[in-house]
Amino acid sequence: MHELLEYLSTPWAIRGIITSSMVGITCGLLGAFIVLRNMSLIGDALAHAILPGVYVAFLIVGYSALGFFIGSVIAGVVTAFVITWIQQYVSTKNDAAIGIVFTSMFAIGVMGISRVSQRGVHLDLTDFLFGELMGIGNTDIIITFIVMVLVILSVIVFYRYFFITTFQQTIAKTMGINVKLVHYFLMFLLSISIVSALSSVGIILVVAMLITPAATSLLLAVRLKHVLIIS
């Protein structure tokens, strides 16, 4: 027990615990809305579709945490927009549109990163898939903190809009609420949240952090506010 406490008291372990806790709060809040809207697969899609953004950002600015963040956010937003457009204007199933877009984006990202890695550049695909919690830097902590605060404030300020567009889109439209704008704003928050978790928990685990806490909280509570707190 003493060795465990001593291990957890090291600076890099503390940074990892703080960062992963902030990621948990962020994903828990957004995950509730994602699960309630039956959009769990979109979270998985965005998590895998950000890799082309990492590749393009590396070509432009080199190995930079901020560059990866900006590039990944752009890739995530583009993916969300394309998926939504296909679902609304192309005669295909919703899940098929998600599968087509995210697998294409993921394949492009894997090919790009693999090509760069073959040139001797330290850009390991494994770090993005599984994260590198023990290698968290100050920049990663700052980005994760900013994203967490933005998500919390957005949920508090726009709670009524998220609530009514989640449960009653028809009533929301009659009230003059721009349902599409709320949807795209939620996708933007989801994109930056996934990207902020890239360096700490990775693409694979962030999907579980979005879905599992939210799905569990829905079994324990009925009111949305309670669901958000538990999640």
Is residue 114 scored above 70 in pLDDT? yes
Listed in order, strand segments (DSSP E) in the chain are: none
Return the number of other C-beta atoms located less than 10 Å from residue 222's C-beta: 7
Please give the mean pLDDT across all residues of the chain.
82
CB 140 within 8 Å of CB 199: yes
| Averaged pLDDT for residues 205-226 | 89
The amino acid occupying position 189 is: L
- For residue 137, the SS3 value is coil
Q: Are 42 and 77 in contact (CB under 8 A)?
A: no
Read off the pLDDT of residues 143-187 as tens digits, 9 standing for 90 and up: 889 999 999 999 999 999 999 998 888 888 888 888 888 888 988
pLDDT above 80: residue 218: yes
pLDDT at 217: 93
pTM exceeds cut of 0.85? no
Predicted pLDDT of residue 84: 81
Whole-angstrom distance, CA of residue 39 vs CA of residue 44:
9
Cα dist. 6→9, 14, 15, 18 in Å? Answer: 5, 11, 14, 16
